């Protein structure tokens, strides 16, 4: 009997655990569950806030340029002719 008990007790515990997980994760069946699920999907596809669009200059975006020259390069307004002062 004790050998059979070692098989039955874990099987009952596993069955209870499976039943608990199944009951906890089953789909909702309320009358508004489908509407709520659809609203959630629509919110994910089309957020409420509209992205800001730059309409100045016919939609052309201008990037700012760093006025500092890169290391080892001369400034753009002073041409480097290779000669000294």
- What is the secondary structure of 10-29 as a DSSP string? HHHHHHHHHHHHHHHHSPP-
What are the strands, taking DSSP E only, across the chain? none
Whether the model pTM is above 0.75? no
The answer to whether position 33 is within a domain reads no
pLDDT of residue 73: 65
Structural domain span for residue 21: 1-25
For residue 16, name the pLDDT band (cuts at 50, 70, 90).
very high
The answer to whether position 38 is within a domain reads no
Structure tokens at 45: 């596809």
Query: How many structural domains is the chain composed of?
Result: 1
In tens, the pLDDT along 32-79 reads 888 888 888 888 887 666 656 666 655 556 555 556 656 666 655 555
The answer to whether position 41 is within a domain reads no
pLDDT of residue 55: 63
**What is the residue whose two structure tokens read 């009997």?**
1
83-to-29, 42, 73, 79, 80 alpha-carbon distances in Å: 84, 67, 15, 11, 8
């Amino acid at each position: 009997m004790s050998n059979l008990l070692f098989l039955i007790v874990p099987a009952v515990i596993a069955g209870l655990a499976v039943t608990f997980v199944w009951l906890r994760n089953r789909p909702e069946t309320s009358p508004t569950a489908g509407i709520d699920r659809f609203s959630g999907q629509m919110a994910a596809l089309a957020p409420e806030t509209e992205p800001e669009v730059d309409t100045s200059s016919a939609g052309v975006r201008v990037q700012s340029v760093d006025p500092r020259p890169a290391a080892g390069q001369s400034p753009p307004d002073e041409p480097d002719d290779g000669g000294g002062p």
